Amino acid sequence: MLRRIMRELVVAIAQLDRVLEANVEKAIQYIVEAANKGAGVVCLPEYFSTGFGYKDPAKMREELGKQAEPIPGPTIQRLQQACKAGHVGVVGSIVEAVQGKFYNTAFAISPNGELTNTYRKVHLFQVESQIVQRGSGWGAFEMGFGKAGIMLCYDAIFPEAARALALAGAQVIFHPAAWMDPFLPQWRIATNARALENQAWVISVNRVGKDELFTYFGRSGVVDPYGNEVLECGDKEGLVVLKIDLDKVKGFRSFLNFLGDRRPGAYTL
């Protein structure tokens, strides 16, 4: 009897608190650790290097302005060097500065250190929308193991975000987040639903700790294409490494093809 050879990806979840002076260095340490553990890609939280929770919008703008940078800029370049040295990819988001405007911009860096994708967040949270500009859409990209996509934090509440990525070919959807109390039940519902609806892996990485506005519960996790949660982290900083079977996507879609069974013409209002 022939044994099926699993087409696997080793993913690393880096759950971080916000320490402005140290987070880039801490992220690089996690990238090195993940590479040493055989990871193919590391996912960092949303706004991993800055956070964004300030009570005063003027202070938020001032502080984010100090930390914002172009892409590629110093932070991305340091991450690119770490990725190339460890031959490991990384996904996360930072505050991007563009002609005096700010964006919450996700990035993907390949194991050879190439910046392969950027995505400016479309669905902005209430506090965030006072400072940050909206992006305009999603796209899948090649990440060595196949096509992937990124949605950011609040995007997961909107089914259209993950669906757009799946229709573009994404089999793995990375979800850097800064999701806060008391919304842990909604976090689980949203991430599980987005995985099942699109028959894709969803890798969600949340921050931990507190800022002036919120307490962040962590609970980063991995959901398989069947909507089953196969990993949930705790509420502390740390790195977790997990193997996932990429062929689960093809296997489930070949049995029940949710994307193919859609009837877009019936959804028009």
The predicted pLDDT at position 26 comes to 94
The predicted pLDDT at position 64 comes to 83
Please write the tens of the pLDDT for every residue from 101-138: 999 999 999 999 999 999 999 999 988 888 899 999 99
Q: Of 71, 125, 112, 62, which is closest to residue 95 (Cα–Cα)?
A: 71
8-256: CATH, from 2.40.50.100, 3.20.20.70, 3.90.1710.10, 3.60.110.10: 3.60.110.10
Residues labelled catalytic: 46, 121, 153
Please write the tens of the pLDDT for every residue from 111-120: 999 999 999 9
Beta carbons within 8 Å of 22's beta carbon, 6+ residues apart: none
The predicted pLDDT at position 20 comes to 63
With 0.85 as the threshold, say if the pTM is over it: yes
Measured CA to CA, the distance from residue 13 to residue 233 in angstroms comes to 9
The predicted pLDDT at position 130 comes to 86
Q: Nearest 5°: phi and psi at 125? A: -70, 160
Q: Which two tokens stand for residue 226?
A: 């069947």
pLDDT less than 50: residues of the chain: 1-5
Angle between helices 74-86 and 23-36 (to 10 degrees): 20
The predicted pLDDT at position 4 comes to 46
The predicted pLDDT at position 58 comes to 85
Measured CA to CA, the distance from residue 58 to residue 42 in angstroms comes to 33
The predicted pLDDT at position 21 comes to 64
Please write the tens of the pLDDT for every residue from 162-174: 999 999 999 999 9
